[in-house]
Amino acid sequence: MNIDSIHNGIVLDHIQAGRGIQIYQALHLDELDCVVALIKNVKSAKMGRKDLIKVDEMIGLDLAALGFIDPNITINLIIDGQVAQKKPLNLPRELVNVMKCKNPRCITTIEQEVEQIFRLTQEDPPLYRCAYCETAFRN
Amino acid sequence: MRHVISPQDLSVTEIERLLMLGDDIIARPEAYAESARHRKLATLFYEPSTRTRLSFEAAMLDLGGHVLGFSSQEASSAAKGESVADTIRMVQCYADLIAMRHPKEGAPVVAARHAKVPVINAGDGGHNHPTQTLTDLMTIHRELGSLEGLTIGFCGDLKFGRTVHSLIAAMRRYPGTRFILVSPTELRAPDYVLDGIRASGCVCEESRSMEAVMPDLDVLYMTRVQRERFFNEADYVRLKDSFILDVPKLLHARPGMIVMHPLPRVNEISVKVDDNPHARYFEQARYGKYIRMALILALLEQGKEGAIL
Ligand SMILES: [Zn+2]
């Protein structure tokens, strides 16, 4: 497989080394039928080492989930073999069904169909709180 | 649709207008005796809280309205496994307003998301209890005439006390509030509460001695120091008396100082204080009904011309 020759698709660049698999899973890339490459420990002038993900199809990305896992990732949209757009990520205001509230007294622990919603309540350092019980999320 | 889930859902102006409506209801109760005629309040209590439920029901009845609902998890459809969302979808076919008490934090947020009628949070676990906070504000407003420039002492369990955290968050919005926090080291207010006070520009002091701060206070807000909060019995016995209010401790209080307590009281206020001119904790319950009447009216009338909400 020639992983460099994406014609129409997406390259996720500047992924913190070792985080690639987490992003692969969070974006459910295992469910795709197209060519997907997860490349680990690529040499990087800026980061020393980084991970890279290439997807040979223009798929919709959950930018909120991505921004939450690693806001420093660069997204390159490749159209006709050219980088058409570089998208920097922002911290998403709201995260839906990305992580679960860990407060055992939270309503989301007993009502399974309730969406897991977290809101950004502080930018620096980023702090997300459960939209129901307001418990802060910690990794 | 406006709901009241957290005390912060109401602006300072809205609270002021609710307090004024409460004043008018106290002054002219007959003028409001039919205000909620043919309207129904559903009290959905997934855990028992007789005090809060009776206050809501009395408030609705005094407005000429009706009440329906359940008062325990066993009596609710949740006992059959029904979700909060489905219960709300059903109840709003019968009621114009919902007051909900639930042991799980955030349950009223779920209710509000599905409700086409206003939802009042009547307490969600250890999280929010906005009508308790409104009751406290109404008490201070009625007894001291203003919410500005007051020195408020909070005494007892300031770590887990939800009513304390909510009242602090409400009072730090008024200019010139000075907070004096009196608690054992083990039960100090959490950092986020202290940070919130500092960020608001209000003054915050901590003390270990109720007597020492007594002469400064306009309000003394008492809470219970529970035995189960301590790691060992010896610590509890050593500390508990410092945080029990008795008549001698009140000797150096200012003449108009008021003692408040969210009730139920166990032993943190000596029964001998009940007749003391400073005591206001039983009046608090009465004010609670009036401010709930004001809130119910405001929510039912919301969106109309001249409405509070
Ligand atoms: Zn939660």
Q: What is the ipTM of this complex?
A: 0.87
Which sign does the torsion angle of CA B103, B83, B106, B282 carry? Answer: negative
Residue A1 lies in a domain: no
Task: Kindly determine whether residue B85 and residue A133, on different chains, have CB atoms separated by under 8 Å.
Answer: no
Q: What is the pLDDT of residues A85-102, one digit of tens each?
A: 887 777 788 889 888 999
Could you say which of B13, B38, B80, B304 is catalytic? Answer: B80
User: For residues B292 and A7, which has the higher predicted lDDT (pLDDT)?
Assistant: B292
Q: Is B66 a catalytic residue?
A: no
**Is some CB atom of chain B closer than 8 A to the CB atom of A137?**
no
B176: left (phi over 0), alpha (psi -120 to 50) or beta: left
Q: Are B62 and B6 in contact (CB under 8 A)?
A: no
Interface of A with B in 96-115 (CB under 8 A): 103, 105-111, 113-114
pLDDT of residue B308: 94
The rounded distance, in Å, linking the Cα atoms of B222 and B164 is: 9
The rounded distance, in Å, linking the Cα atoms of B94 and B68 is: 9
pLDDT of residue A139: 63
Q: List the CATH number of the domain containing B218.
A: 3.40.50.1370
Dist. CA A105 → ligand 1 center (Å):
8
pLDDT classification of A3: cutoffs 50, 70, 90:
low
Q: Is B278 a catalytic residue?
A: no
On whether both A119 and A62 belong to a single domain, the answer is: no
Q: What is the token pair recorded at B242?
A: 């410092």
On whether both B170 and B26 belong to a single domain, the answer is: no
**Is some CB atom of chain A closer than 8 A to the CB atom of B105?**
yes
On whether both B26 and B170 belong to a single domain, the answer is: no
Task: Kindly determine whether residue B104 and residue A131, on different chains, have CB atoms separated by under 8 Å.
Answer: no
On whether both A24 and A74 belong to a single domain, the answer is: yes
Q: Which residues make Cβ contacts (< 8 Å) with residue A82, sequence separation at least 6?
A: none
pLDDT of residue B232: 81
Helix (H, G, I), strand (E, B) or coil at B45: strand
pLDDT of residue B275: 96
Residue B134 lies in a domain: yes
A:B CB pairs within 8 Å: 48
Q: What is the token pair recorded at A66?
A: 């991505």
Beta pairing, strands A36-44 & A48-55: antiparallel
Which sign does the torsion angle of CA B184, B185, B186, B192 carry? Answer: positive
Task: Kindly determine whether residue A108 and residue B126, on different chains, have CB atoms separated by under 8 Å.
Answer: no
**Is some CB atom of chain A closer than 8 A to the CB atom of B219?**
no
pLDDT of residue B111: 97
Q: How far is B213 from chain A (nearest CA, A)?
A: 33
Q: Is B101 a catalytic residue?
A: yes
Among B169, B247, B176, B167, residue whose Cα is nearest residue B210: B247
Q: What is the pLDDT of residues A66-84, one digit of tens each?
A: 888 888 888 888 888 888 8
Q: pLDDT averaged over chain A?
A: 87
Task: Kindly determine whether residue A107 and residue B107, on different chains, have CB atoms separated by under 8 Å.
Answer: yes
pLDDT classification of A55: cutoffs 50, 70, 90:
very high
Q: List the CATH number of the domain containing A38.
A: 3.30.70.140
| Ranges under pLDDT 50 in chain B | none
Q: Is the pLDDT of residue A1 over 50?
A: no
Exposed/middle/buried for A8, CB within 10 Å: 0-12, 13-18, 19+?
Answer: middle
Q: Are B268 and B223 in contact (CB under 8 A)?
A: yes
Beta strands in B134-270 (DSSP E): 151-155, 178-182, 203-207, 219-222, 258-260
Give the nearest chain B residue to A110 (CA atoms).
B104
Residue A101 lies in a domain: yes
Residue B2 lies in a domain: no
pLDDT of residue A4: 63
Could you say which of B28, B51, B198, B208 is catalytic? Answer: B51
Q: Which domain holds residue A78?
A: 9-88
